[in-house]
Structure 1
């Protein structure tokens, strides 16, 4: 009987009756934390996928005490509404949840070709999975990312869609040099076998950015990356996330992550830390000018401040600043 490695802080709650693990081609990991209603909507979007590929869902409950998401979703697996597994990742944190899902995937699904990720505040369009897999095959790549289109709580908040915190880095399908987010991601079996476990670095566990670091490392290892603009995920954006202090904190955090990821990338090379620090100072120095250009182009003060916050966050990271937004989920 297949089992998880000794010491893995993971419990199997249930799995779909008669689940044929060996026949599954794609596995979708869905980490969830204190969003019992939203995760059901996420699962419904996966149940509605239009594809002939055999796929399974691994739902990762990261609230090990109340387990509200697991309680809400358990019948979906017990009754066979979804093919897959429901697990508990007992070690709390963003990276721990992702790692638990990936480890379960490679342990229980011997013939999977693709591992995908959707977060519990996201809805996948019906053709999402097929578009992701087909893009990987057509372009011959090992990693695919796609757009996370923000869906705001109020119509008047839609103006925030153009802000760098919410907007996509690419607009067209094709091979790209780097990806940044795991919220809409496909990884080939080769990537999974090469990169882990562990997959995401736990130093990013409550800050976020473990996905950016992981994707940076996959590119360094020579894996080819692509963007699929047709593989759409729609992300719910609560009112809290359009408040000025949240935008500022997320922008600073992105700067911190940028420094930490670049330091890891340059590790072992001459004067690595000095080069990163000098680059951060230069970016901070140039940020008022870059911000002014953005202000002229967009008319948005918030967008204009983004490069300033990025530069400040990069420099602050040199002095130990870390904005761990995921430690207080109620404020995130």
Structure 2
């Protein structure tokens, strides 16, 4: 890893060699919600002995570190808090995953939850059970939206707020890292840096990682019974945010396909983008009629336009200004 990682505190008496499962939790300027996330981890039932790694990604402000430190130093939560000096969500994930491999030699399962989410009480146990039962190397779960006061809840059926899959079982691929379990052998095989930091501020580093994992033959699964509940601020239900997210999702899909296909895949990729653009009005009409919302219906058009914009290098860095995301 090229970035600087500093471990700021470790819970007393932590037996690194006895930990089977590690939960990694990136945080950036959400100290109040971080405490809610940590409380949900402390309340887990039926889970094996696990450790938590909090990755503070605000090297200057360190509000997350300040909020979490007392819990770890008092031993209320087992694990550690580190500072990932390089800004960006991919850099934060890379710091936590690398540290988990280095510090916990017996770790078999690595889970991820974000600092705007709260885990169900049996989240860890159900994710591990699904990975064992399927079996699967990488398991995802639903991120259930919980809208803050003032949010436009009529958009709750928008594709950006609904899970990609409905039922537990094997799936072809995953798209998000906000609720996921990854086996240790996946990380060891893929090697650090796991997420490409070129995606730090546009998102999609997780989708790119999964695409590369699929190429290496790893198996994916879904656990519908292991939700995390994501707090959705009102600004994420404004048209400007939904439009930007749709364009961004389209751009990410084109970028990942370009990386997998190389120069020779350009004609096929562009033809696909044009085909999606041609079909998008009808797909949008169907989605709009099905949800009763023209705003929701626009999503397919936005994704198609975002794909074409990416071909000309126009990609929205939606995570660059966290306060606007």
- Structure 1 counterpart of 2:82, from 60, 66, 87: 87
- SS, match of residue 235 in structure 1: strand
**Aligned twin of 2:137:** 142
**Aligned twin of 2:199:** 204
**Aligned twin of 2:322:** 329
**Aligned twin of 2:300:** 307
Q: CA deviation at 1:295?
A: 2.1
Q: Report the Cα distance in structure 2 between the residues aligned to 1:196 and 1:105, rounded to whole angstroms.
A: 13
For the pair 1:317 / 2:310, whether they are aligned, the reply is yes
Q: CA deviation at 1:293?
A: 1.6
TM-score, with structure 2 as normaliser: 0.98
**Aligned twin of 1:294:** 287
Question: Which sits farther off after the overlay, 88-97 or 297-306?
Answer: 297-306
TM-score, with structure 1 as normaliser: 0.96
> Structure 2, unaligned stretches of length 5 or more?
none
**Aligned twin of 1:282:** 275
For the pair 1:77 / 2:72, whether they are aligned, the reply is yes
Q: CA deviation at 1:52?
A: 4.2
- Structure 2 counterpart of 1:213, from 208, 213, 234: 208
Pairwise mapping of residues 241-256 of structure 1 onto structure 2 (< 5 A)? 241-256=236-251
For the pair 1:104 / 2:104, whether they are aligned, the reply is no
**Aligned twin of 2:159:** 164
Q: CA deviation at 1:112?
A: 0.3
For the pair 1:181 / 2:176, whether they are aligned, the reply is yes
**Aligned twin of 1:151:** 146
Q: Report the Cα distance in structure 1 between the residues aligned to 2:283 and 2:120, rounded to whole angstroms.
A: 36
**Closer, same or farther in 2 for the Cα pair 1:166/1:52, shift >3 Å?**
closer
For the pair 1:59 / 2:59, whether they are aligned, the reply is no
Q: Report the Cα distance in structure 1 between the residues aligned to 2:151 and 2:313, rounded to whole angstroms.
A: 37
Q: Report the Cα distance in structure 2 between the residues aligned to 1:33 and 1:203, rounded to whole angstroms.
A: 19
Q: CA RMSD, aligned part only? A: 1.2
For the pair 1:260 / 2:260, whether they are aligned, the reply is no
Alpha-carbon deviations, 1:113-169, whole Å to 9, x = none?
Answer: 011100000000000000000100011110000000000013873322210011111
- SS, match of residue 162 in structure 1: coil
Q: Report the Cα distance in structure 1 between the residues aligned to 2:286 and 2:43, rounded to whole angstroms.
A: 44
Q: Report the Cα distance in structure 1 between the residues aligned to 2:160 and 2:295, rounded to whole angstroms.
A: 10
**Closer, same or farther in 2 for the Cα pair 1:295/1:113, shift >3 Å?**
same
For the pair 1:26 / 2:21, whether they are aligned, the reply is yes
For the pair 1:233 / 2:225, whether they are aligned, the reply is no
- Structure 2 counterpart of 1:36, from 7, 31, 34: 31
> Structure 1, unaligned stretches of length 5 or more?
none
* Contact 2:47/2:124 (8 A) holds in 1: no
For these two proteins, the number of residue pairs brought into alignment is 325
**Aligned twin of 1:17:** 12
Alpha-carbon deviations, 1:250-295, whole Å to 9, x = none?
Answer: 1100000010111222237xx3011111101110111111111222
